[in-house]
């Protein structure tokens, strides 16, 4: 078992734990209403942070969307840190996955597209985390509009790539798992987007819940790369150092080197045979 396995596992552990900590902080500071709250009002006499008592008056500004939880300090600082660190880990995992596919198999359009969509998603996630929705709404929504579709496209491409490269029964099981997670993620993303545009308070609250489900599914999807990363070695990094070109990894280079050695050896023995004549 390679130590590289820790990387894809650490991404969902770090991000899922992190966003729930941000939610807990936001809930403690009364910046959002609890997830189990389904009652909202057009307006309240007092803002939520100023209210006291067991029953809180909530408006649409207090719906516990993930980005809403990370809007105000101090939780906004942790939210930016989680998004920035998560973006870096997404880029790194996608890059190593790209190189590992080239090393073990060969490069293809699915592999290159998967790397591209992951890096685009990481760029959008950085914008989401560092431009809070209440203070830079346009940039925040641009980042969200980039991150959500590209992350969905990434899991679809990786699911297809898993089936294309699968040879053993265990690899097909991983493919089944990823397809199931991709389908659930697609359903959650569509429902979250559709409900977000509705005027109903209940549907907008449901949108927030589906957003949480979608984000956790995507992070858990990255965790499934631990299966491939278990067979990763230093040769994967050599593929990256060569620019990711070619297929078959180090074996192709060692084969060509062997052929060169054999040919030079035959040329070396040819003059000796002539001198004996």
Q: What digits encode the pLDDT tens for the residues 106-149?
A: 889 999 999 999 999 999 999 999 999 999 999 999 999 999 99
pLDDT at 250 > cutoff 80: no
**Predicted pLDDT of residue 135:** 94
Average pLDDT for the chain: 88
Q: What whole-number distance in Å separates Cα of residue 66 and Cα of residue 208?
A: 7
Percent of the chain's residues with pLDDT above 70 = 87
pTM here?
0.86
**Predicted pLDDT of residue 1:** 62
**Predicted pLDDT of residue 260:** 40
Nearest to 200 by CA among 31, 32, 39, 34: 39
Which burial class, exposed, middle or buried, applies to 29 when counting CB atoms under 10 A from its CB (0-12, 13-18, 19+)?
Answer: middle
**Predicted pLDDT of residue 71:** 95
**Predicted pLDDT of residue 245:** 58
**Predicted pLDDT of residue 52:** 84
**Predicted pLDDT of residue 175:** 97
For CA atoms 120, 140, 205, 66, the dihedral sign is positive
**Predicted pLDDT of residue 231:** 82
Q: Please write the tens of the pLDDT for every residue from 187-219.
A: 999 999 999 999 999 999 999 999 999 999 999
pLDDT at 258 > cutoff 60: no
pLDDT at 262 > cutoff 70: no
Q: Which residues of 176-208 are buried (b: 16+ CB within 10 A; e: fewer)?
A: ebbbebbeebeebbebbeebbeeeebeebbbbb
Q: Please write the tens of the pLDDT for every residue from 154-187.
A: 999 999 999 999 999 999 999 999 999 999 999 9
> Is the distance from CB of 90 to CB of 123 less than 8 angstroms?
no
3-state secondary structure of 2: coil
**Predicted pLDDT of residue 252:** 40
pLDDT at 257 > cutoff 80: no
Strand locations in the chain (E)? none
> Is the distance from CB of 229 to CB of 7 less than 8 angstroms?
yes
Q: Kindly report the number of other CB atoms within 10 A of residue 264's CB atom.
A: 9
**Predicted pLDDT of residue 148:** 98
Q: Please write the tens of the pLDDT for every residue from 46-68.
A: 889 888 877 889 999 999 999 99
């Amino acid at each position: 078992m390679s130590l590289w396995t820790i990387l894809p596992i650490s991404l969902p552990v770090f991000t899922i734990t992190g966003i729930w900590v941000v939610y807990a902080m936001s809930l403690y500071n009364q910046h959002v209403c609890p997830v189990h709250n389904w009652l909202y009002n057009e307006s309240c006499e007092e803002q939520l942070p100023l209210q006291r008592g067991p029953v809180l008056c909530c408006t649409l500004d207090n719906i516990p969307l993930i980005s809403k939880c990370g809007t105000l300090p101090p939780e906004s600082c942790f939210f930016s840190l989680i998004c920035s660190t998560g973006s870096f880990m997404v880029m790194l995992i996608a890059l190593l996955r790209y190189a590992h596919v080239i090393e073990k198999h060969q490069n293809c359009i699915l592999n290159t597209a998967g790397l591209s969509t992951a890096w685009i998603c990481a760029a959008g996630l950085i914008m989401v985390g560092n431009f809070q929705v209440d203070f830079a709404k346009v940039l925040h929504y641009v980042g969200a509009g980039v991150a959500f579709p590209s992350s969905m496209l990434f899991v679809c491409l990786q699911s297809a790539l898993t089936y294309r490269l699968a040879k053993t029964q265990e690899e097909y099981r991983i493919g089944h798992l990823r397809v199931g997670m991709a389908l659930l993620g697609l359903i959650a993303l569509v429902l979250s987007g559709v409900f977000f545009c509705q005027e109903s308070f209940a549907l907008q609250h449901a949108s927030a819940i589906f957003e949480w489900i979608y984000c956790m599914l995507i992070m858990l999807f990255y965790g499934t790369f631990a299966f491939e990363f278990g067979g990763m070695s230093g040769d994967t990094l050599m593929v990256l150092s060569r620019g990711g070109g070619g297929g078959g990894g180090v074996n192709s280079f060692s084969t060509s080197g062997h052929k060169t050695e054999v040919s030079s050896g035959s040329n070396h023995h040819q003059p000796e045979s002539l001198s004996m004549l």
